Chain A
C-alpha cells in the first residue's frame, strides 16, 4: 500500500486521487475516440477470459463436438488409419441412439435428438412433435438418422480407395433397419454387432485391445437385468481416443487437412477476438495490423492484464506485496495521468482502479476486469476491419498456398516435365507494399492484370498460359465473323471486357452530362471535317 502512495507521489500533483485536470489529459483525449466505454451489451465475463481459439482444434473438438470432422476423417483415411475413427464414431452413435431411445416416453425428446445429432443428421424433428406418433415410428426415424449418418461416412470411404469394406457397413445398417419393432432387442443387436465387428477376439477389424477391455465390454452388454447402458463401450472408446490422440493427432495438426479445416473456419465469417488472441500465427498478423492502426498498446494491455489475472488464478502462492507491485506497474503504464502508454480511460475508471489497488491484502485478480472488457470490446471492433484488411487476405492466401504446396510436394510425379513448373500466383515482390493493388485480384469480373516476374524470365511459361486471359482483342464467332472487343455487339448490355479495363485506368468521371457533351463535341468535329472535305470545290 505504502509503495503505491509513494509511486503515486511521483506524479506532479502529489495526490493520488487527483481532481480532473483537463490540461494534463490532452494525450488521453487523442486516444479516447478509440475506446468504447459503453458496455451496454454486457458480454459474458467468463467467455471473455476463456482462452480458446476456434482455430486451434483439439481431438475433443473434432470427435465430440464434431468440428471439422470431415477433414479429420479424410486425414485418417489418407494414412489408412480410418478404422479407429470409424469404430469410435459408431460407438458414439450407438450411445446417442440409446440415449434418445430412453427419452421416447417424453414428447419433448425431439429437442434432445436435434441437439445430440449435431452433425449433418437430418432430423425430422417437427414430425416427431406430433402427439400421435408411436414409439415405433420414432425409432424408425432414429435409425434413419443413423443410416444417413453412416452413409455420410461411407462417402468418405468411397472417396479414397482405401480398404474399407463397404458391405460390412451395410450389414450393420441392414440389421438396424430390419428391426424397428422391438426396441430393446434391436439395441442389443446393434451393440452385439459393434462388438463383433471391433471388439471380439475374431473381429474382422481388430483393434488389438487388451483382454480386460474386452471383458468389461462383455459384462456391460450382457447386463443381468437386460438393460444396456449407453456407456457400455466407453472403455474401448477411451482407449481409442487416447490412441488417436497420442499417435495420429500430432500428424493431423501438421497436415494440409488441418490447414484446410482452419481455412474453413477463417472464411466462415465467425472469427472473433478470442480466436485471434489464442492463435499464435494469426496473432502475429493481427499485431502487425494493430500497429498499422496505431493501437498496438491496446493489445499489450490485454496481454498484461491476462498475465496479471493468470498469475493470481493459477494457484501460485502470491505475496500481496508482489501483486500490488504488479498492479502498480500496470497502473503506471496505462492508467496514471503520467502513463507511459496511456489508453485513455475515463476518470471514473482510473479512480476505481486506484482504490482497487489500494485495498487490503493486495488487489484481487478482478482488479482490471472492467478496463479489460472495455479494451476487449474496442479491439473486437478492430477485428471487423482486420478481417477486411489486406493482411488478413494475405494470411488466408498463405494458408491456401501452403495447402497447395504440401499437396503438390506429396503428389509430385517423378518426371521433370516442364508443365510441372508452377507459376506463383501471388507475386509478393511485385505487389509488395501495395495492398490495394493486390486486392483488385479478387475482382473477378476483370481479368487479372498483374504480371508475374516468373513469366517474364521464363520463356516457357508463355506457352503455358491459359488462353482466356484477356490478351485477345476480339474473337471469331460461329459464323466466321470477327467480333472486335472494342466494338462489341450493340445488343449486348454489359460493357466489353476491354472497355471495363480501360475505364479502370482512365479517370472515371463519366457523368451523363459530360458524356453528352463529349458526344456533341465529337459531332461538331466530325461535321467540321466533313464540311471541309465533302464540300464542292469552290473555285473551279
Chain B
C-alpha cells in the first residue's frame, strides 16, 4: 500500500488521472505525512512558476529579429501594387483582412465562371466575382486579380479562356506559412507583374 513519491508528485501537479486522483485525495486527507509530502511537491513547483528568464543579449535578439523581417523578395514588389485591394468595397476589404492569416493554395477556380473577367471593370462585382485589378506579367499575358468564393485569385487570359494561376483563401485562422497578401506579393514578384492598368487602358483590353 506504499504510495510512491512519483504518484504523490503527479497528484500535486494535477497529472494523476481519475479515479486514482480522487482515491488518493481521500487517503491524503486522512494522513498528515502524505499531506506534507504533497505540500512539499507543490512548494517546489510553485516557487519556480513564472520565474523570469534573463533577457537575451541585444546582438542575438537583433539577429533573430532580422530573420523575422519579410524576405527581400517582398521589396521587389512596390507596395502600390496592393493599392487596388484597398480600394475594394468595405465588405471585400474586411474579407481580405480576415484573409491576412490565411494560407496559400493553388486551386482551380472552383466552378466560378471566369468569363465575366472578359468585361468586368475593376472595382465592380458581377455573378459573385469582384474584379480588383488588371495587369500584364512578364510573359505578356493579361492577368486579373479578383475576389470570388472566399478566395483572392489571379487568373490570366489564354486561348482557352481565363485560367486561375493563384488563389489565396480569405478564411481560416491560426498560424499560416505565409500571409495571404505576402503570398500574393511573392507570386506577383515572381511573374514580374506590371503596374495595374488604369481604367482607360483596362477598358481597351477588355471586351
Q: Do A and B bind each other?
A: no
Interface residues of A, Cβ cutoff 8 Å to B: none
Interface residues of B, Cβ cutoff 8 Å to A: none
